[in-house]
A = this chain, B = another copy of it.
């Protein structure tokens, strides 16, 4: 308890980030301080195995820190896919193979602690408003840009779900009808253009085009970083762009135009106080932020309508880095218990 007491103060929530590859968890106090992070590979062999794996992670957090159960308010679980937070059911999550899994009930049986379940992106929006770049904001949009793209929407301090829980699924808005095939089935969805994997594909296609469509990417003096890294990823493209590689910058500028396009739409549809970028692609940092802000600032300068909503800090980067998922999950406990 010594170590714990010096860092975080009860009441404590346990935030659990249930992902397709790992389950991460940790204690979070009311100030958003984290302690006792654990991380296990996700056992996806069955829904039961995944639930056991989550329970194991939670018990590991508790064991490591010897916190008494009385100090623990509850457990918040941010899970992928479609969630019914009221009934605590994981309705559909392709990447962990869940279909109508009664997460809340099953976890409460396993842990003997109150559990709260929410879609991970929606929970993260709450975490960002409570501890991050949106601190003190009641109306914000948290835009997660990683392998997928989705928005978590906060209205009046509360997560907005929509009647089917689909509010914020703007990763599947078609932004270029002639664009690449998306795994949802449509063509030219924002996610098929601006997700991490899509950025890598776009950069690679540009490289191939520059090599004369030969099908093989050969090193040139102009794109040293892109080649040095071997397999292209969004991370590589950003690294090259920071090194002033023109092809990488061009790739990211194009993608950012689409992101800015979606953001202006969200801005005018929801009139939020701020839109916070997170996820793997948002690790692109200030370069991404500048590329997205630039067309938006131009548009807000032109249009008095967008100008009423937009301001220099309107689009921000998440302030919470990789902790956002655990913090968001913990925020569920702090809000709902």
Residues on B with beta carbons closer than 8 Å to the beta carbon of A151 = 269
In the complex, are the beta carbons of B302 and A166 less than 8 A apart? no
Decide yes or no whether A242 CB sits under 8 A from chain B: no
Residues on B with beta carbons closer than 8 Å to the beta carbon of A308 = 82, 164, 166
Copy count, this protein chain = 2
Cβ-neighbour of A268 out of B139, B173, B187, B261 (below 8 A): B173
Give the secondary structure class of A's interface.
mixed
Smallest CB-CB separation from A305: which chain B residue?
A: B172
Min Cβ gap A164→B in Å is 5
Decide yes or no whether A55 CB sits under 8 A from chain B: no
Decide yes or no whether A99 CB sits under 8 A from chain B: no
Residues on B with beta carbons closer than 8 Å to the beta carbon of A167 = 269-271
Residues on B with beta carbons closer than 8 Å to the beta carbon of A155 = 155, 160
Smallest CB-CB separation from A181: which chain B residue?
A: B302
Interface centre among A162, A184, A308 (most CB of B within 10 A): A162
Residues on B with beta carbons closer than 8 Å to the beta carbon of A309 = 162, 164, 166, 169
Decide yes or no whether A299 CB sits under 8 A from chain B: yes
Interface centre among A165, A189, A268, A270 (most CB of B within 10 A): A268
In the complex, are the beta carbons of B269 and A184 less than 8 A apart? no
Decide yes or no whether A168 CB sits under 8 A from chain B: yes
In the complex, are the beta carbons of B186 and A303 less than 8 A apart? yes
Cβ-neighbour of A269 out of B168, B174, B185 (below 8 A): B168
**A174-B302 Cα distance, complex, nearest whole Å:** 11
In the complex, are the beta carbons of B273 and A270 less than 8 A apart? no
Given contact pairs A163-B273, A166-B308, A308-B166, A302 touches B268 in the complex (Cβ within 8 A): no
**A173-B170 Cα distance, complex, nearest whole Å:** 15
Decide yes or no whether A319 CB sits under 8 A from chain B: no
Q: Mark A167-202 against chain B: 1 for CB-CB distance below 8 A, else 0.
A: 111111110000000101111010000000000000
Smallest CB-CB separation from A169: which chain B residue?
A: B268
Q: How many residues of A contact B (CB 8 A)?
A: 46
In the complex, are the beta carbons of A269 and B271 less than 8 A apart? no
In the complex, are the beta carbons of A271 and B182 less than 8 A apart? no
Given contact pairs A160-B155, A306-B186, A269 touches B266 in the complex (Cβ within 8 A): yes
Chain A contacts to B: CB under 8 angstroms: 82, 138-139, 151, 153, 155, 160-174, 182, 184-187, 189, 261-262, 264-266, 268-273, 299, 302-306, 308-309
20 other contacts beyond A162-B270, A162-B272, A167-B270, with CB at 8 A cut-off? Answer: A155-B155, A161-B271, A163-B271, A166-B309, A169-B309, A170-B268, A171-B305, A172-B303, A172-B305, A172-B306, A173-B265, A173-B269, A174-B299, A182-B303, A185-B304, A186-B303, A186-B306, A265-B265, A269-B269, A269-B270
